[in-house]
Amino acid sequence: MESSKDISRLIEIMAALRDRKTGCPWDIVQTFETIKPYTIEEAYEVSDAIERRDMDDLCDELGDLLLQVVFHARMAEEAGEFSFGDVVEAITRKMIRRHPHVFARSDADTPDAVKLQWDKIKAEEKRERAERRARRGITEDFKAGFLGSVQRSFPALTEALKLQERAAKVGFDWSAPEPILDKIEEEIDELRVALRDGEKDKVADELGDLIFAVVNIGRHVKADPEEALRGTNTKFRRRFGHIETTLEAEGETLEGASLERMEEIWQAAKAIERQLT
């Protein structure tokens, strides 16, 4: 079988991999649950390639992500639920419906008007989805309620941000960043108490409250917490790498170096960064 730019070839390859008699032993035994972590991982790798501005990697990672879509669609087709074609039809229908200002007559000619129109259409889709679920006998709906549109599958920082943004739409929000700083200090004090008391569950609870408050101030100052933390992670990698290479040049190892020596090199790395900015 040859490679191709036609999506149908990828669908054929996945069908061959899942063939119960002649397919790949690993692919055959996979389920939605076992493949889900790979799907999330591939999405993160797409994000990483974008951050690094590596177009070669981005092309590869988008292909890996597309494979995950085809994989899930194939398993759904085997279960008699839907096929890859149904997935394509659903998203094309949704995009056409949500952009009447492009594909039909509409007065939405500004970004704000488009956003209002989009929200109205999404509300209609939500009602239709509830009706479909009811017809299938599905009564429990984790997407119910005003916050229901926020996916629980988001990374925790992103979920917190989305929940706050959603609540802010109905006025449940801080008026300025400064009071949030007071809230952060309050949460730090409560964390200190929990640490002093040695209550493990309480410590975790208060730590979550503190992180949630920090996300809130990031939202108010227009600093996406996920991206801010990712930037800090990159900085930590760079500075720790400087520690490692410096120790190696001195004939030492990370395991053999003292904390004081590593901190000294860390501060030197910070000084170098300040000179470069």
pLDDT recorded at residue 160: 93
Residue 34, domain member (yes or no): yes
**Which of 166, 216, 224, 165 lies closest to 187 in space, CA to CA?**
216
- CATH number for the domain that contains residue 30: 1.10.287.1080
Number of domains the chain contains:
3
Model pTM?
A: 0.60
Which token pair is 119? 């929200």
Per-residue pLDDT of the chain (277 residues; tens, 9 = 90+): 677 889 999 999 999 999 999 999 999 999 999 999 899 899 989 988 998 899 999 999 999 999 999 999 999 999 999 999 999 999 999 999 888 888 877 777 788 888 888 888 888 887 887 787 778 777 666 666 788 878 777 788 889 999 999 999 999 999 898 999 999 999 999 999 999 999 899 999 999 999 999 999 999 999 988 889 988 999 999 999 999 999 999 999 999 999 999 999 999 999 999 888 7
Collapsed DSSP state (helix, strand, coil) of residue 149: coil
**Are 94 and 11 within one domain?**
yes
State the alpha helices, DSSP H only, in the chain.
7-17, 25-28, 32-51, 55-78, 84-98, 100-103, 111-135, 156-168, 177-197, 200-220, 225-249, 259-276
pLDDT recorded at residue 33: 95
**Are 70 and 12 within one domain?**
yes
Range of the domain at 242: 226-276
CA dihedral 190, 191, 195, 201 (to 10 degrees): 100
Residue 126, domain member (yes or no): no
**Are 75 and 26 within one domain?**
yes
Q: Of 54, 70, 98, which residue sits at a domain end?
A: 98
pLDDT recorded at residue 215: 95
pLDDT recorded at residue 238: 94
225: left (phi over 0), alpha (psi -120 to 50) or beta: alpha
Give ∠ CA 72-76-82 in degrees, rounded to 5.
115
